[in-house]
Amino acid sequence: MNVATSFPHITEAHSAGIPSAEQILESLPRSVLVVGSEGVVTYANRASMVSLAAVVGSEMRDLFPGCVLSLATMTGAPSCLLISRDGEKFDAGIAVLGAGQFLIDLRPSLDARTADMQGDLDELTGLTKRNGLLKHLSSALCSGPASSIAVHCLDLDRFKMINDTLGHAVGDLLLKKVADRLTAACHKDDIVARLGGDEFVVLQRNVEEGTAETLASRIVDLIGRTYVIHGHTINIGASVGVAIGANALQDCDLLRNGDLALYEAKKAGRGRYRMFESGMDALLFARREMEIDLRRALALKQFKLNYQPFINVTTNRVDGFEALLRWEHPVKGNIPPLSFISLAEENGLIVKIGEWVMRTACIEAMSWPGEMIVAVNVSPLQFKADTLLDTVATALKRSGLPAHRLEIEITEGALLDDTDNVIQTLNSLRALGVKISMDDFGTGYSSLSYLQKFPFNKIKIDRSFVAGDDADSEAILRSIASLGTSLGMAITAEGVETAEQLARIRGERCTHVQGYFTGRPMGTDQIPVFLARNDLDERI
């Protein structure tokens, strides 16, 4: 069909620079059909082709079963309900064009629009879901200045622990209460969305100077207040990343900026908010670059192990060495563990890296004299992977290292998330003959309770208590050493850097010391030279 023959007055106007009838119809977001007197479609705009493929030339009764539209039935019927062969419902507006033709404007029926809106709502909380949020965000960016909107991306801190300890039923109720508090914190024109799990986003409208920060601060405060659910007192927190629309070209950029700010909030210690800053892009790029380099490092064998001795203060002899991971980057040089371990834990690479450390440490320890022990740190993620027991057993078998010469060091973090499963794994390792020690003892709030749940072979007192020369640090050092001795555990004081610290530790019943004063980290080839040195006896 030539649209010009049906809209001659509009076509004439087009010659004066006004858009043509076809341009107007093609730009409409909904379906528009032109139907002849016998019910055959002679024109369909582009939107129609999305849902009604190959409609031109089709009969209306084929497109909408049960519908018979003809010159007689459509005259005097300005609207009707049409149901397509796919079950879609339309409120159809009908206009007479003349020459036996009719224009049919197909709008999704009110029922269909309601169902679509309901499909955009989260079943648990009643909040908007991701698709609904994107629609609102796109509309907000198109309808007003970008500087007047902001997104607040937030995660709940410690929510997983609530789910694991109190169950998903309590976790679901907690999410509902969080949703209620978020809604209460926001203006009625703002959109509160749940993207899944414990991830939420707030689309804030009518943002003025300082109002985005005010809302973010209020969210952190409200979400961090105590909850009472089924008699349980629950404390969680929220980390929030805020991005203003003026810093984004489109909705995906705005959400990405919010996520970047959220990452910085988490890195800063959680339970706080961060505003997006342009420099965060560079941080993200550097982080992605390091992640790629990390994957290459494992494949290209850029990791190596250094070893730091721990000294028995009774015999003044080296009882063993702790394996310390090092990364020799071909361009950036030596990268310290603090710069990449947390990233390796975030992306899961720590499991593969940990397996390599375990294998290598056991092999290299076989060259040491006597019954010297090798201590290997294990990440909490290695317990979650459920492969740690096999990794240790395989490393011992392939290297030939006796199990009693391997000491596995864990931190409180390994026990915190899944205590029962971790303790079961530790018992299995103990059954192999492996020694188990708790590292950084005294820095966590549950350290003492874990001593009741599992009989560690050794506890390592955190270096902060060794370095401190105040009365409180000395009291804590003395108490931990006394407790460990009474439980039959060896006690290692970490971070010994001076003769004065060593003398103080000798008087506090510690069994071992470790630090720069008694021995710096060294390559495996340096160990024989270190053990042969005479000045070690003189210093300790």
CATH architecture of 3-112: 2-Layer Sandwich (3.30)
CATH of domain 122-277: 3.30.70.270
pLDDT in tens, the chain (540 residues): 555 444 444 444 444 567 777 777 777 767 888 888 778 888 888 766 544 555 787 888 888 876 655 544 554 456 677 877 777 778 888 888 877 788 888 887 765 445 444 557 888 999 999 888 988 888 887 766 767 899 999 999 989 888 878 888 999 999 999 999 999 999 988 999 999 889 999 999 888 888 999 999 999 999 999 999 988 999 999 999 999 887 555 556 788 889 889 988 988 888 899 999 887 877 777 877 888 899 899 889 999 999 999 999 988 899 999 999 999 999 999 998 888 998 898 888 999 999 999 999 999 999 999 999 999 999 988 988 889 999 999 999 999 999 999 999 998 777 766 678 888 999 999 999 999 998 888 666 556 667 777 889 999 988 888 877 777 777 888 888 888 888 889 999 999 999 888 888 887 888 999 999 999 999 999 999 999 875 556 556
- Strand locations in 118-206, DSSP E? 150-157, 191-196, 199-204
First to last CA, the chain: 100
Compute CA distances 380 → 60, 260, 425, 433, whole Å. Answer: 64, 25, 12, 21
CATH class entry, domain 289-539:
alpha beta
- 21, 10 Cβ separation under 8 angstroms: yes
- 372, 365 Cβ separation under 8 angstroms: yes
Q: What are the residue boundaries of the structural domains of the chain, listed by start?
A: 3-112, 122-277, 289-539
Q: Please, which residues have CB within 8 angstroms of residue 349's CB and are 6 or more apart in sequence?
A: 291, 294, 295, 298, 343
Buried b (16+ CB within 10 A) or exposed e, 335-368: beeeebbeebbeeebbbbbbbbbbbbbbbbbeeb
Rg (CA), the chain: 34
What's the chain's length in residues?
540
Instruction: Report the 10 Å Cβ neighbour count for 122.
Output: 19
- 268, 191 Cβ separation under 8 angstroms: no
